[in-house]
Amino acid sequence: MAIIVNLDVMMAKRKISLNELSQKVDITQANLSILKTGKAKAIRFNTLNALCKELDCQPGDILEFRED
């Protein structure tokens, strides 16, 4: 089983850059990049909340479960 991070898809749909999003949600570009590439081991709910608020989306738009 795997959790897929679709943050890059949502960012493209909203036409927002990594730099701009990191400033708006107060996350370093490095940490946002780790999350965006799916290399993060966890995400805090307050971070997910900030991302959803800024991208005007639901958590399920960013995170997806796929069985292997």
Q: Give me the residue spans of the domains in the chain.
A: 2-66
Q: Top-level CATH class of 2-66?
A: mainly alpha
Predicted confidence at residue 53, as pLDDT, reads: 97
- Say what the pTM is: 0.91
Other C-beta atoms closer than 10 Å to the C-beta of 31 total: 13
Which amino acid type is present at position 16? I
Residues (pLDDT < 50) of the chain are none
**Residues paired with residue 25 on neighbouring β-strands, in sequence order:** none
Predicted confidence at residue 68, as pLDDT, reads: 75
Predicted confidence at residue 19, as pLDDT, reads: 96
Predicted confidence at residue 30, as pLDDT, reads: 96
